[in-house]
Chain A
């Protein structure tokens, strides 16, 4: 069923605002511990722009944002398509070891804490 306010031609969806103090950033911290350089990311999006698997939904920049926000539900679908080709790592202006972060993230999403 269409939401009632659709008749206005736009929708007011619920706010995505979160309380960062309450966010569960444990996965993010584990990754940071493994790859400290990860913290230097400035969300420029170069990694996403060059990505070999961009068409299949790989999005490192977004995955990083969600990790920080503790929103882990979508992480798997955002990182599954990565083929570890390494292009992103070579173009990142902040020298983030993106490939290694994605590799470890893929493993951490499968191995329980």
Chain B
């Protein structure tokens, strides 16, 4: 049979590829036009700059090598890399091999894909040819090894470091089926051809000879090539409607990110890029405490993004999230899913809460100019011992300060903002800003990480904002004589808002090492657990919260500390609920305990007894 007489089988592949080449640029253009004019200006300014080169480097390391997944789990990383990078190399090396063989740089795109079909009896005449033949076989083996892992993962995900695999929907299943068929069919077609023509690389030739001895290879040859081509074409057509849309969109997202485009308050074209960049790898669901502890399995980043993409998002799915940031920190695509969730919440809730005007009488008087202005916030008011500790330390260190919300009644606005009540939050922010400006203080001291984050990100204050853990670290460095080391064993809990939310990990630790013996826990820094108290979750039940809290508390007391230290009054309050053998204290309280005894001023003591007797 002269194979070249039957080239019609290439059509499914060619049609699928043509579809992709038209469809993808069309949607990407549509999304780009939905971004703001400012974003587009940024893009055109950065497109021919070093930023593009940096982006390409990241595309190579993340879209092909999948380095971040390697960090999560090496086997899972290998699986993703062998499929992505292996396939990429098959294309590049295949194209080179074809070009060398035909001495024609412009051969049709299907030629490298079906090279063995068109040149079945190709026996390399020199070392270069043999090299390519062997390399192509090695690459095919490489991809097939990843595929084997992928199939294995579907049934036994624990093997690849995953507690659960993502639950997939129909478009994903269709695309997945085509994808899984592509490489086994390629192997089959190439092997059969090698078997029939007795020519090929070490792998395909040996498997081909074996197949030819068992099967009517000559009759099966053409159907196998047809099947391979259909699998390819089918995958290309299914790709934009399935999770595999991420393959190309992730690369586009990396470019946009490097060009300076960011997630905005309202959903726009950039959000579309983000949503479609999710590969549904499920890593986010594996680090989410909602599923691990509270049995909530529908609202994780992967499912939220999926539902949003297919227009079937229930408000509850957007609401059922702690905004703990564990998923964004672990996401290999670096999707800022909290921001996207907030966009959805705001869409729905913003008009349901009006702006607030506080009665002017409630605003406190002007504190001393140039001093520290301390904002305690709602949660510190609920934990008065924290406020007292801060007051004591500041007095002891002779820091001039006044308290902005001594009487309570002022909220920073962040909880409302997280619920999607944007206009209400903005009205609060504006009024509190006016108060702070009126105080003429030189620094705003904040003891709640929830407040700290919003003061930093949403308030445009002309003075620095400091969390008390950072402020006290500097204070202790400047006045070390004030504190002594108690040598007590302690563990430290990174709150979500201070740690992942604001990137403050080291300052509290440095401070604590000065006053106690800090021991590590199983989940530290970026990987710290949420206490479960987060105000951001509007749908979780109190009982589910308690389950999350208990797990987080248990891992904090696992190293048997004398006490646990946190730097968030909300975490302290949450952990202190119920029977706790090992107390949880705020970093300010830990510091207060470490204060050296005050030198008594020498003065004649008049005891109470003496007074009474007099």
Contact = CB atoms under 8 A, between A and B. Distances in A.
A26 interface: no
B542 A83 contact: no
B419 interface: yes
B42 interface: no
Contact of B535 (A81, A84, A104): A84
B409 A110 contact: no
B472 interface: no
A105 to B, nearest CB: 9
Interface in B333-376: 348-349, 351-354, 356, 358-359, 362
A83 B411 contact: yes
A37 B541 contact: yes
Interface string B94-115: 0000000000000000000000
A55 B362 contact: yes
A109 B382 CA distance: 29
Interface residues of A, number: 29
B349 A52 contact: no
Nearest to B577: A90
Nearest to A105: B352
A83 B428 contact: yes
A50 to B, nearest CB: 7
Contacts of A95: 542
B410 interface: yes
A90 B534 CA distance: 11
Contact of A85 (B351, B411, B533, B573): B411
Contacts of B535: 84-86, 99
A80 B409 contact: no
B408 interface: yes
Contact of A83 (B351, B352, B356, B538): B356
A84 B352 contact: no
Contact of A91 (B359, B362, B382, B539): B382
Interface in A33-61: 35, 37, 50, 52-56
Given A55-B359, A97-B541, A80 B353 contact: yes
Nearest to A50: B382
Nearest to A58: B356
Contacts of B409: 52-55
A42 B351 CA distance: 31
Given A37-B541, A97-B542, A90 B354 contact: no
B348 A86 contact: no
Contacts of A87: 378-379, 381-382
Interface in A52-85: 52-56, 80-85
A83 B354 contact: no
A22 B358 CA distance: 38
A84 B381 contact: no
Contact of B411 (A52, A100, A109): A52
A43 to B, nearest CB: 19
B424 interface: yes
Contacts of B418: 84
B129 interface: no
Contact of B352 (A37, A81, A91, A110): A110
B416 interface: yes
Contacts of A107: 348-349, 352
B161 interface: no
Most buried by A among B351, B352, B411: B352
Interface string B498-540: 0000000000000000000000000000000000010100110
A50 B573 CA distance: 15
B254 to A, nearest CB: 36
B511 to A, nearest CB: 26
Given A52-B411, A90-B382, A90-B573, A103 B538 contact: yes
A58 B103 CA distance: 81
Nearest to B315: A107
Nearest to B542: A95
Contacts of A99: 535, 538
A100 B353 CA distance: 14
A71 to B, nearest CB: 20
A99 B540 CA distance: 11
Contact of A84 (B358, B382, B416): B416
A95 B574 CA distance: 12
B562 to A, nearest CB: 26
A90 B415 CA distance: 14
B282 interface: no
Nearest to B362: A55
Contacts of A50: 382
Contacts of A86: 378-379, 415, 535, 570
B410 A52 contact: yes
Contacts of B570: 86
B378 A52 contact: yes
A86 B362 CA distance: 21
A26 B382 CA distance: 34
Nearest to A54: B409
B413 interface: yes
B419 A103 contact: yes
Most buried by A among B353, B410, B539, B570: B353
Contact of A37 (B416, B538, B542): B542
B259 interface: no
Contacts of A91: 382
Interface string B403-423: 000001111010110110100
B416 A83 contact: yes
B542 A84 contact: no
Most buried by B among A35, A83, A106: A83
A106 B356 contact: no
Nearest to A86: B535
19 contacts: A52-B409, A52-B411, A53-B411, A55-B359, A55-B409, A56-B358, A56-B359, A82-B353, A83-B413, A83-B415, A83-B424, A83-B428, A86-B378, A95-B542, A97-B541, A99-B538, A100-B539, A106-B349, A110-B351
Given A52-B378, A83-B411, A85-B379, 8 more contacts: A52-B410, A53-B409, A82-B353, A83-B424, A86-B379, A104-B538, A109-B352, A110-B352
> Which 7 pairs of residues, A with B, have the shortest CB-CB distance?
A85-B378, A83-B411, A84-B415, A110-B352, A85-B411, A106-B352, A86-B535
